[in-house]
C-alpha cells in the first residue's frame, strides 16, 4: 500500500497534493465558476499538460524545449482536422465551388481533399494520430540531435527554430492548413455539438481526468530507475554514459513522452475552444508554456499545473483591465521566478507552507538551488 502510494503519488505529501488539486479542479472550481469562466479554466488546464511535460523533460531531464508549442499545436491540429471534416459535409458546404471540402480550401481554389487529410475522416485514426504524429516528430528531432550529442542551449534554440519554421509553414500553406486564421468553425464530434454549455462542461471534466491521469503516469516514470537516471544525467551526463547507459536513448524517450503529453493537451484545447491556429504553435506560446512550468515549479508535476492556472488567470485578469501592460508583467514574472524563486510556487510551498503540503516531491529527488549548495532538509 505504502509502496503504491510512493510510486503513484510520490509519498504521502504527494498524495495530499494530488488530492487537493483533484478536489480543486473537479469540485471547487466547477462549483463556484460560471460556464464561461469554467471553460477558460478548462483551456488553462490544457496548457497544464504542457507544463507537466516540461517538468519531465526540463525539470528532471534538463532538456529545455522552447518548442513545446510544436507538439501542442500538432495535437490540436489533428483534432481540428477531424472536426473540420465533420463540419464540412457536402450538405453543410453546398454553396462552395467544391462541396465537401473545408471552406478555406475552397477559398484557395483547391478542388479535392489533399491525401494527408483523408485519414482524419476516421475518429480512431485521428485519436492515434494525435499522440503518434507529435511523438514521431519529437523522435525525429531528438534522435537527430541527441545522437549527435547536441544538447543544452543549442537544443533549446533548435526547438525554437523548428517552432518558428512550423508556424511559417502553416501560415504559408493556407490552402492546406487554413493559414494564419487556423482551422475554425468546428461544430460537432460524431454528431455531438461541442459548442453547447453542456458539451463544454463535459469536456472540462474529460480534460481534468486526462490531466490527472497524465500526472500519475509521469509520477510512475519519475519514481522508476529512469526517473533517477534523468536527474543523474542532468547533473553528470558523462558519469551516466560511462556507467553503461546510452544517454541519448533516455533523452529521446523523455522528450517523446513530453511531446505526447503536450499533444493530448493540444487536442483538448481544440475541443474546448473550438478552433486551432498557428498562434498556438510558434515561439511566443512555446516560451509562455515554459514560463507556466517555471512559475509553478519545474521540479513539481502538481506545481506546474498551478503555474499554468495562476499565470493564465492573472493574464486574463490583467489583459481585461490593462491589455498593454500584460507582456511586461509576464516578463517580470519570469525574471522573478528565475531570480527569486527558482523552484517556483512548489518550492515556496515546500519551504514556507504547512508541513502536510511540504515536499510535493518529497519521495523524489528535489534538486538543489545551486550546484555545490544542496538544499539540505535533514542532515541528521
Q: Which residues bind other proteins (CB under 8 A)?
A: 221, 224-226, 228-229, 231-232, 235-236, 238-247, 249-250, 253, 365-368, 371-372, 374, 376, 379
> How far is the C-alpha of 200 from the C-alpha of 205, rounded, in Å?
9
Q: Name which of 247 and 289 has its Cβ closer to other proteins.
A: 247
Residue 91 Cβ, how far from other proteins at the closest point, in Å?
48
Q: How far is the CB of 10 from other proteins (least distance, A)?
A: 14
Q: Select 143 or 334, whichever has its Cβ closest to other proteins.
A: 143
Residue 167 to residue 174: CA distance in whole angstroms: 11
Q: Closer CB to other proteins, residue 63 or residue 289? A: 63
Q: How far is the CB of 364 from other proteins (least distance, A)?
A: 10
**Cβ distance to other proteins smaller for residue 32 or 376:** 376
Nearer to other proteins, 63 or 231 (CB): 231
Minimum CB separation from other proteins for residue 247, in Å?
8
Q: In terms of CB distance, is 45 or 258 closer to other proteins?
A: 258
Cβ-contact 275, 325 below 8 angstroms: no
Spell 325-360 as b/e; 16+ CB within 10 A means b.
ebeeebeebbeebeeebebbbbbebbeeeeeeebbb
How far is residue 126's CA from residue 253's CA, in Å, rounded to a whole number?
A: 23
How does 242-252 read in b/e, with b if 16+ C-beta sit within 10 Å?
eeeeebbebbb
Instruction: Tell the residue number behind the cell numbers 510535493, with chain if given.
Output: 360
**Cβ neighbours for 321, distance < 8 A, ≥ 6 positions apart:** none
Q: Give me the residue label for grid cell 504542457.
A: 50
Torsion sign, CA atoms 222, 227, 228, 230: negative
Comparing CB distances to other proteins, the nearer of 7 and 187 is 7
Distance between CA atoms of residues 374 and 380, nearest Å: 15
Q: Is 370 helix (H, G, I), strand (E, B) or coil?
A: strand
- Shortest reach from residue 127's CB to other proteins, in Å: 24
> Whose Cβ is closer to other proteins: residue 221's or residue 310's?
221
CB of 242 to other proteins, least distance (A): 5
Q: Using CA of residue 194, residue 200, residue 205, residue 209, what is the dihedral sign?
A: positive
Residue closer to other proteins by CB (options 205, 253) is: 253
- Shortest reach from residue 238's CB to other proteins, in Å: 7
CB of 364 within 8 A of CB of 227? yes
How many residues comprise the chain?
Answer: 380
At 276 the three-state DSSP class reads strand
**Shortest CB 372 distance to other proteins, Å:** 8
**Least distance (Å) between residue 71 CB and other proteins:** 19
Whole-number Å distance between alpha carbons of 301 and 217:
11
Q: Which residues contact 42 (CB under 8 A, 6 or more apart)?
A: 200, 203, 204, 207, 268, 272
Amino acid at each position: 500500500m505504502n509502496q503504491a502510494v510512493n510510486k503513484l503519488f510520490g509519498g504521502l505529501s504527494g498524495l495530499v497534493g494530488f488530492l487537493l488539486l483533484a478536489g480543486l479542479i473537479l469540485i471547487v472550481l466547477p462549483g463556484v465558476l460560471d460556464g464561461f469562466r469554467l471553460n477558460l479554466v478548462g483551456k488553462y488546464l490544457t496548457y497544464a499538460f504542457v507544463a507537466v511535460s516540461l517538468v519531465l523533460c526540463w525539470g528532471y531531464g534538463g532538456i529545455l524545449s522552447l518548442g513545446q508549442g510544436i507538439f501542442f499545436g500538432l495535437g490540436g491540429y489533428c483534432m481540428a482536422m477531424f472536426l473540420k471534416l465533420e463540419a464540412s459535409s457536402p450538405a453543410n458546404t453546398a454553396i462552395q465551388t467544391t462541396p465537401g471540402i473545408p471552406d478555406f480550401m475552397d477559398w484557395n481554389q483547391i478542388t479535392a481533399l489533399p491525401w494527408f487529410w483523408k485519414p482524419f475522416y476516421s475518429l480512431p485514426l485521428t485519436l492515434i494520430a494525435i499522440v503518434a504524429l507529435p511523438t514521431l516528430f519529437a523522435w525525429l528531432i531528438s534522435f537527430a540531435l541527441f545522437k549527435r550529442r547536441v544538447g543544452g542551449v543549442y537544443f533549446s534554440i533548435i526547438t525554437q527554430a523548428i517552432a518558428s519554421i512550423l508556424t511559417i509553414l502553416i501560415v504559408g500553406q493556407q490552402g492546406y492548413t487554413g493559414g494564419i486564421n487556423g482551422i475554425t468553425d468546428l461544430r460537432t464530434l460524431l454528431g455531438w455539438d461541442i459548442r453547447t454549455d453542456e458539451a463544454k462542461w463535459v469536456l472540462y471534466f474529460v480534460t481534468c481526468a486526462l490531466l490527472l491521469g497524465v500526472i500519475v503516469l509521469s509520477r510512475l516514470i519519475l519514481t522508476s530507475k529512469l526517473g533517477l537516471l534523468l536527474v543523474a544525467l542532468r547533473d553528470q551526463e558523462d558519469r551516466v554514459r560511462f556507467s553503461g547507459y546510452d544517454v541519448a536513448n533516455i533523452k529521446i524517450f523523455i522528450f517523446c513522452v513530453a511531446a505526447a503529453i503536450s499533444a493530448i493537451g493540444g487536442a483538448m484545447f481544440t475541443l474546448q475552444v473550438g478552433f486551432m491556429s498557428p498562434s498556438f504553435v510558434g515561439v511566443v506560446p512555446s516560451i509562455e508554456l515554459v514560463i507556466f512550468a517555471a512559475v509553478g515549479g519545474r521540479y513539481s508535476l502538481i506545481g506546474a499545473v498551478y503555474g499554468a492556472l495562476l499565470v493564465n488567470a492573472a493574464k486574463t485578469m490583467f489583459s481585461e483591465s490593462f491589455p498593454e501592460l500584460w507582456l511586461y508583467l509576464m516578463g517580470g514574472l519570469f525574471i522573478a521566478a528565475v531570480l527569486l524563486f527558482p523552484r517556483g510556487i512548489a518550492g515556496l510551498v515546500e519551504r514556507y507552507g504547512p508541513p502536510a503540503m511540504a515536499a510535493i516531491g518529497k519521495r523524489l529527488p528535489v534538486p538543489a538551488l545551486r550546484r555545490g549548495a544542496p538544499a539540505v532538509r535533514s542532515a541528521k
